[in-house]
Amino acid sequence: MTVQPTRDRRAERREATRAEILQAAWELAREQGLGGLSLRDIAAKIGMRPPSLYWYFDSKHAIYDAMFADGNRQLLERLDAVKLPRDPRAALKRYLGAFMGFALEEPARAELLFQRHIPGFTPSPESYALAEAALAGAVKVIGEAGVTDQGDIDCLVAMTAGLMDAQMSNDPGGNRWTRHLNRLVDLLVDDAITGSTHG
């Protein structure tokens, strides 16, 4: 009976190269925008020829998909690390604020995760599940703040996304829109709560 190797060095190496490709892709996306990402540049950055990338990814979209999953994992990690105040309302503000901070700190990442910017790209179900997990986290905090009606939740989410989008598009690096987050959260949550008690 042969001794089972405790590590699969080949798989480790393969995974390491995959990670290297993704890292190069992220760097290039940061440098020259998400749309200007080319397989040739990625390959060049890690000392490869473009076709070799196909050993690790099925297509360019597969790379985008891996980046999408990657970004959402970063988001989940960030949101998990947020220290939430006891007060549910304050917790909600902190949570959504962290979300916005995450989105704004890396435009290319936000472009991939929150805007539909790559023509023809749709996240795979597995990757999209990560995005839904992040949304589910938000819904949980929203619920703890007393907002449970789906319509009210939709409003909160859309409003947050609207602020984030306007901020990214029109005033990146500033706070012209983000500064209104807390006020709008109060407004919507108050209205949702009083509305629900009235039946």
Task: Enumerate binding residues for its own copies (CB under 8 A).
Answer: 33-36, 115-117, 119-120, 151, 154-155, 157-163, 165-166, 169, 176-177, 179-180, 183-184, 187-188, 191
Between 34 and 63, whose beta carbon lies closer to its own copies? 34
Question: Quick one: 59 or 169, whose CB is closer to DNA?
Answer: 59
* Binder of residue 17, out of DNA, its own copies, none (CB less than 5 to 8 A by kind): DNA
Partner touching 10 among its own copies, DNA, none, CB below 5 to 8 Å by kind: DNA
Q: Of 179, 79, 191, 185, whose CA–CA distance to 138 is shortest? A: 79
CA dihedral 142, 124, 110, 100 (to 10 degrees): 10
Per CB under 7 A, 39 contacts DNA: yes
109: Cβ–Cβ under 8 A, 6 or more apart, which residues? 26, 29, 71, 74, 103
With contacts defined by CB under 7 A, name the span among 43-51, 101-109, 139-147, 152-160 that binds DNA. Answer: 43-51
H helices of the chain, where?
Answer: 9-32, 39-45, 60-81, 88-105, 107-114, 125-144, 150-170, 181-197
**Using the rule CB under 7 A, is 4 a contact of DNA?**
no
